[in-house]
Amino acid sequence: MATARSASLSTKRRSDSALVVCLAGNPNVGKSTLFNRLTGAAVETANYPGMTVGLNIAAARWGGREVQLVDLPGTYALDPVSEDQWVARHGLLDWQPDVVIAVVDATNLARNLYLVLQLVDLGPRVVIALNLIDEARRQSLRIDPRALSQALGLPVVPTVARRGEGLDELTAAAAAVAAGSNGLGHGRAVRYSARIEAQVAGLEEQFADGPAALPEGLPPRAAALALLEGDEELVAAFGEAGQTAAAAGRTSLAVPIAAARHAAAAAIAEACTEGRASAPAADRWWAATTSPITGVPILLAVLASVFAFLFFVGGRLSELLTSLWMATASPLLGSAVHGLFGYGAVAGTLLWGLDGGILAALAVGIPYILTFYFALALLEDSGYMNAAAFLADRVMHLFGLHGRAVIPLMAAAGCNVPAIMGTRVLSTRRERTIACALVVLVPCSARTAVILGSVSLFVGWQWALLVFGVVGLVGLVAGLALNRILPGEPEGLVMEMFPFRRPSLRLVVRKTWKRFGTFLWAAAPIMLLGSFALGALYETGLIWHLSRPLEPVVVGWLGLPAVAGLTLLLSVLRKELALQMLVVFAVARYGVAAHDLRTFMTPHQIVVYALVATIFIPCIATIAMLVRELGWRRSAAISAGTVGAALLVGGAVAHLLPLI
């Protein structure tokens, strides 16, 4: 991770008039909650090239002053040794904030102060939001904000971000520090051992004499410490003149410096805390959810409930939305379109897109995605996700993934699109690529409908199970293979296990809605466009010309009727259409009796058809999301891989089945 990446400041859009405020803090300390509280709805995300972790940026007004709030990723430190820390560090250096609000968890002060001390070393002005003080009180921990403020030399404002307590005081303190030129907010830096301090002083002297300007606007002490900690990027940034300085700062002091910071943090926390923490009641929950004997059944129960929730609530919602649409918008649209455009190809195309397209979104996409997002936010907020990740870690390891990957993989059974967005819980690009490839191979609700509606209905449920089994096998092989092929090592799991907290419905709904909005903007236009394209092809009759070039593969290798190949091709636009189109085309070609697939396909052909339809590229919306998350090159590779796997497996099964 520490390879020198060009520090192109693609995310930096600092406007001169606005106050720039960065939010820093450990994961799960309520930083995002605070961010949401302090800003309105319009949040943009800025990404560094090649980085999957982004910065959230939003505007706000504090007493008439325009403020740009930059939410750094939640990190434990600011060393460029992991992707999130790299982004946090660069966000901080690139944005040059007027003030940094460091959000600290009052229930785990010692560990949280490490980041604060590192911030002080790095140089920006800092204000502390002492968050979760209600939680601390519940654990009979009393923290003296004034003593903490004195020990750190920084303003400290107690807050309860969830309930919005202390936020006015916080913004006032931050604005005062940002405005003041009296050195307020610079904090008391850690005094390191004589050996380290001597080397820091030596380097500072060199910087004063040296021809090289300090990169990234770092104060000399900050640059000296970063060099001593072995910051390879900084060493590179110093250029030739810096190499000597870097060599003089022996790059072996990272651990002693970290140890000194931890010791200082622990001492400050100790001095400012009264009362010994009683073990939180949640501890007992932990034991149950992570010990193998009770944890695995709990995990299975939770997974089953999420599935049940998804299928029952999502299914109900789907029925409701469908019948609402059919009863109201659909007839209206129909008469409006026919009234305006008559009954020709134009009207037909418009109806495919507007009526059919929106209906498909209402019936398949939206209900399942909305319910899934809700379940996901609920699980995340409760803190259970970590237990699931802990237990699933071993299995995910086979694929070069963490336990955390289990969540998006589960989501994929609803719809692949949000699942691909969900792979953001993974930290490296390698992991995300593997996870996305596996997500794409999980049959989503639309593909499950194709399997059930063809194989299960016309051939038998055992055969449907066989199809699911083969698809699962393909996923297993793909995961194992990708873990071997992709360069890089699987990352070892290092994950903080957060305590359980009672989820706040308000936050869960807000999170659900925010994610859902993102999904809708990304996927809905593509779904609609796909429907229009399909409609135009069908209504103009162009569609029949597409089937000829496919024949060698479809008829020759897969042994399927030519019309089937056409529907496979078109199902890229919307997967559940594979089956609907098959019936439509078959009726057009073979007559009305063809609504029963068995009139023109053998059971084996139906199985092969369902297999191929399930394995190859999910749909165009999924591809668009893949491109957004992984870039077009990896997306093309994944898509091509699924096509290859579908043809290979489909062909193999087509040739093997008659032998059995």
Partner 1 sequence: MSLQSESREEYLEAIFKLNQQSEGATVGRVAEDLGLAAPSVSQMVARLAREGLVERDPASRILLTPGGRRKALRLVRRHRLSERFLTDYLDLPWDQVHDEACKFEHVLSDEVEERLAAHLGNPQTCPHGRAIPSADGELPDEAARPLAELSAGQKSTISFVSDEQPDLLRYLSSLGLLPQTAVSVEDVAPFGGPLLVRVGRARYALGREVAGKIFVRV
Residues that bind partner 1 (CB under 8 A): 1-2, 76-77, 79, 81-82, 85, 107-108, 110-111, 114, 229-230, 247-248, 250-252, 254-255, 258-259, 262, 266, 277, 286-287, 290-292, 386, 389-391, 393-394, 397, 402-403, 492-497
Is 580 exposed, middle or buried (CB count within 10 Å of its CB: 0-12, 13-18, 19+)?
middle
473, amino acid identity: L
How many CA atoms, within 13 angstroms, populate the side-chain half-sphere of residue 523? 31
How far are the Cα atoms of 20, 202, 421 from residue 57, in angstroms, in the given order?
10, 39, 19
CB closer to partner 1 out of 271 and 340: 271
- Alpha-helical runs (H) found in 210-291: 220-228, 232-237, 239-248, 254-272, 282-290
Is 287 exposed, middle or buried (CB count within 10 Å of its CB: 0-12, 13-18, 19+)?
exposed
CB closer to partner 1 out of 38 and 226: 226
CB closer to partner 1 out of 494 and 659: 494
What minimum distance in Å lies between the beta carbon of 7 and partner 1? 18
SS3 at position 22 = strand
- Tokens for 101, please give them: 């609000």
What minimum distance in Å lies between the beta carbon of 266 and partner 1? 8
- What span, in angstroms and rounded, lies between the C-alpha atoms of 340 and 360? 24
Q: At what angle do helices 461-485 and 632-656 cross, to 10 degrees?
A: 140
CB closer to partner 1 out of 1 and 627: 1
Contact 626, 635 (CB under 8 A): yes
CB closer to partner 1 out of 291 and 323: 291
What minimum distance in Å lies between the beta carbon of 250 and partner 1? 5
What minimum distance in Å lies between the beta carbon of 493 and partner 1? 3
What minimum distance in Å lies between the beta carbon of 244 and partner 1? 9
What minimum distance in Å lies between the beta carbon of 524 and partner 1? 37
Contact 351, 334 (CB under 8 A): yes
Is 593 exposed, middle or buried (CB count within 10 Å of its CB: 0-12, 13-18, 19+)?
exposed
Residue (of 129, 141, 140, 17) closest to 68 by Cα position = 17
CB closer to partner 1 out of 44 and 205: 205
What minimum distance in Å lies between the beta carbon of 203 and partner 1? 12
CB closer to partner 1 out of 268 and 615: 268
- Tokens for 657, please give them: 């089945």
What minimum distance in Å lies between the beta carbon of 307 and partner 1? 23
- What span, in angstroms and rounded, lies between the C-alpha atoms of 136 and 449? 49
What minimum distance in Å lies between the beta carbon of 110 and partner 1? 6
The residues with which 126 forms a beta bridge, in sequence order, are 100
The residues with which 57 forms a beta bridge, in sequence order, are 44, 70
CB closer to partner 1 out of 190 and 363: 190
Name the phi and psi angles at 494, rounded to 5. Answer: -135, 105
CB closer to partner 1 out of 169 and 491: 491
What minimum distance in Å lies between the beta carbon of 238 and partner 1? 14
Residue (of 361, 357, 371) closest to 315 by Cα position = 371
What minimum distance in Å lies between the beta carbon of 382 and partner 1? 16
CB closer to partner 1 out of 76 and 609: 76
Q: How many CB atoms lie within 10 A of CB 627?
A: 15
The residues with which 19 forms a beta bridge, in sequence order, are 67
Q: H/E element holding 103?
A: strand 99-105
CB closer to partner 1 out of 59 and 258: 258
